[in-house]
A and B are shown apart, each in its own frame.
Chain A
Amino acid sequence: MTTANQTAVERYRNNFLKEVEANVEEGHMVKMCMQCGVCAGSCPLGPHWTHSPQKIFMMIRAGKRDEVLGSDSMFMCTSCYNCMVRCPRQLPITHIMHGLANYAHRLGLAPKGQPTRDFATLFWNNAIKKGRVNELMLTLRHYFRGGLVSGIKEALGMQSVGLGLFLAKRLNPMEIFGGHGVKDLKGFHAIIAKAKEIEDRKKGFTS
């Protein structure tokens, strides 16, 4: 699993900015940051992360690879776009943060047990199975992620919402048996596999 990481370390030795520019979505814009601090001050979740975007960008330029790729900050972004609309240099900050999260995840360096990352993984695996999100299974898996007891507690806490959704025909209990999928499931899986192949090739991952 660490081969992709080792390759990247070898290739961009001591030049993490170059690595980000080459592999992270909108990574070439990182060098445009003038360290004014508006993004950091504008983030509604700012006080709750380890590193603000301003700090992440400075760390990238300072070559702090392990700290950046191991940071939980990119996963804390809620995509409110406050930083992006206020950035005086018009850096696509939100996109860069997502790009960094994706890159760290693929290298296997993203923090373990980070809730947003875990949920994103859960969502992806669920959606990819049948080409449609099985909301019932997604919710159940999410509630029971911490074991049986906490799962039952969490599910019971949400039962009135669940019942409301059921009565409004927004939640089908039959979905527990696998649920419905897209018409051409085989074709869908082929598309996803191809997309992954293209992305891997572009980003230099060998899978």
Chain B
Amino acid sequence: MTASIATNQTILVVGGGISGMTAALEAAECGKQVILVEKTPVLGGRTARLYRYFPKMCHPTCGLEINLRRIKQNRNIRLMTMTEVTAVSGSRGNYSVTLKVAPRFVNENCTACGKCAEAVSAEVANPWNYGLDKMKAAYLPHNMAYPQRYVIDPSIVGTPEGEKAKAACPVGAVDLEMKEETVTLQVGALIYATGWRPYDAAKIQPYGYGRFRNVITSLEFERLADPQGPTGGKILRPGDGKEAKNVAFIQCAGSRDENHLRHCSRICCMASLKQTQYVREAFGEEGKSTVYYIDIRAIDRFEDFYQMVQKDATVSFVKSKVARIAENAENGNPILHGVDTEGYHRYAVEHDLVVLAVGMEPEITGVKLPADVILDSSNFIEGSKDGGMFGAGAASSPLDVNRAVQSATAASLHAIQVIRKTASTEAV
């Protein structure tokens, strides 16, 4: 059992996204004992839901695969999925952590054969596609899922659908009697790699997200472009399934706004520049992307990528924060209203699809953390007063994948220092 091996020499990593995996691996490969807890049934976090990375336009599955193999090979990491931290007490070098483990209703016998999913007909919204489509209530989250083990959605447990899944399983892996468990562990240091979530676009009232079906978020656009997404990689707008060849990208949707997120989310400019290339990839010269921006913040070496996109004839830039969006009732096209800053021209432009480059909000916003944890004014984790708890990756600052990995490695080193100090104190 995990509980018995955890000591004050153990590092607890909260969150199994790219930062959490990195932090856990770096410490484990230094020989430290690590417990990696993840809220969802799989590792990979938001990174696994991206189509391509900027600036190299490579696929996240590649790097993810390497990390998953490192985790599989490492005996120092104990992974707990569907697990949340509910309480932390104690201080640096000696924490007591309470974990809540939700039932998966599938045990380790699962071979991921998929017979349960075939048997079940009930469907639930698919969070891995940001709710753009539905999936079976007995599911493997995505092809890259680790652990490769199915999950039974709690909504069908205790129904004939649940029994169907159980009956279909050839290896007796479906266990509908599983209950929620509470586990308490001792650990020496904590790394919060709790990541981020897209800012709730519906709160930006003038943009009509939630009211106009052809206004979507940048995360949803990633899923549209992904061959594993709800449209099989075709850029079809949600309103009527029409090909979206004329796409508007609205920057700072929530970010740099005292009414929403006061920080610059830093990744969204590059994300939109990258996504203009999805439009080009799908439609060639027929595709058209328009980026509405306050200023493009392609930080340091990303300037090259920005210049490359500027040279692309299918992409145009409008220096203006869009004031509001209306909808053309006849064809469902969103109409963007505003005034541009280069000449103060008033515009009302129709597009097939609007992509809101939504800002990054820390996932822990609204979650009660130990009193010692220090947050900045946007709820990013700066550290802790006792010096034993650290933020890593997007939990600590709005970061892209590359910088999140750097941040996680640094957090891991800090945690190792705490563990070593504790060990040497005890030796004396």
Chain B binds chain A: yes
Give the interface of A toward B (CB within 8 A).
Answer: 34-42, 46-47, 52, 54-55, 85-86, 88-90
Residue of chain B at shortest CB distance from A89: B258
Find chain B residues with CB under 8 A from A34 CB: 256, 294
Indicate which residue in B252, B257, B260, B344 contacts A40 across the interface (CB closer than 8 Å). B344
A62 to B53 CA separation, bound complex (whole angstroms)? 41
Indicate which residue in A54, A85, A86, A90 contacts B339 across the interface (CB closer than 8 Å). A54
Contact with A along B321-341 (1 / 0, CB 8 A): 111100000000000011111
What are 12 A-B pairs with beta-carbon distances under 8 A?
A35-B341, A36-B252, A37-B323, A38-B321, A40-B344, A41-B320, A41-B338, A52-B339, A86-B206, A86-B259, A88-B321, A90-B259
- Chain B contact residues: helix, strand, loop or mixed: loop
A54 to B338 CA separation, bound complex (whole angstroms)? 12
A52 touching B321 by the CB < 8 A rule?
no
Smallest CB–CB gap between A142 and chain B, Å?
Answer: 32
A-contacting residues, B112-155, CB 8 Å: none
Indicate which residue in B323, B340, B341 contacts A86 across the interface (CB closer than 8 Å). B323
B258 touching A38 by the CB < 8 A rule?
no
A40 touching B259 by the CB < 8 A rule?
no
Using A41-B321, A90-B258 as known contacts, list a sample of 5 further A-B pairs with CB atoms less than 8 Å apart, ordered by residue number in A: A36-B341, A38-B322, A85-B259, A86-B323, A88-B259
A154 to B344 CA separation, bound complex (whole angstroms)? 38
Find chain A residues with CB under 8 A from B301 CB: none
B324 touching A37 by the CB < 8 A rule?
no
Residue of chain A at shortest CB distance from B262: A88
Give the interface of B toward A (CB within 8 A).
Answer: 206, 252, 256-260, 294, 320-324, 337-341, 344, 346
Smallest CB–CB gap between B361 and chain A, Å?
Answer: 16
Find chain B residues with CB under 8 A from A39 CB: 323
Residue of chain A at shortest CB distance from B321: A36
A41 touching B344 by the CB < 8 A rule?
no
Find chain B residues with CB under 8 A from A88 CB: 252, 256-260, 321
A54 touching B344 by the CB < 8 A rule?
yes
Residue of chain A at shortest CB distance from B348: A41
A38 touching B323 by the CB < 8 A rule?
yes
Find chain B residues with CB under 8 A from A90 CB: 258-259
Interface centre among B260, B294, B339, B340 (most CB of A within 10 A): B339
Find chain B residues with CB under 8 A from A37 CB: 320-321, 323, 338-341
Residue of chain A at shortest CB distance from B204: A86
Given A36-B321, A47-B346, A88-B321, do A41 and B337 touch, yes or no (CB 8 Å)?
Answer: yes
B344 touching A42 by the CB < 8 A rule?
no
Find chain A residues with CB under 8 A from B346 CB: 40-41, 46-47
Find chain B residues with CB under 8 A from A38 CB: 321-323, 338
A85 to B206 CA separation, bound complex (whole angstroms)? 11
Smallest CB–CB gap between A96 and chain B, Å?
Answer: 16
Residue of chain A at shortest CB distance from B338: A41
Smallest CB–CB gap between A81 and chain B, Å?
Answer: 13
Residue of chain B at shortest CB distance from A83: B323
Given A36-B320, A38-B321, A41-B320, do A52 and B256 touch, yes or no (CB 8 Å)?
Answer: no
A36 touching B294 by the CB < 8 A rule?
yes
A40 touching B338 by the CB < 8 A rule?
yes
A88 to B259 CA separation, bound complex (whole angstroms)? 6
A88 to B320 CA separation, bound complex (whole angstroms)? 13
A38 to B251 CA separation, bound complex (whole angstroms)? 13
Smallest CB–CB gap between B89 and chain A, Å?
Answer: 39
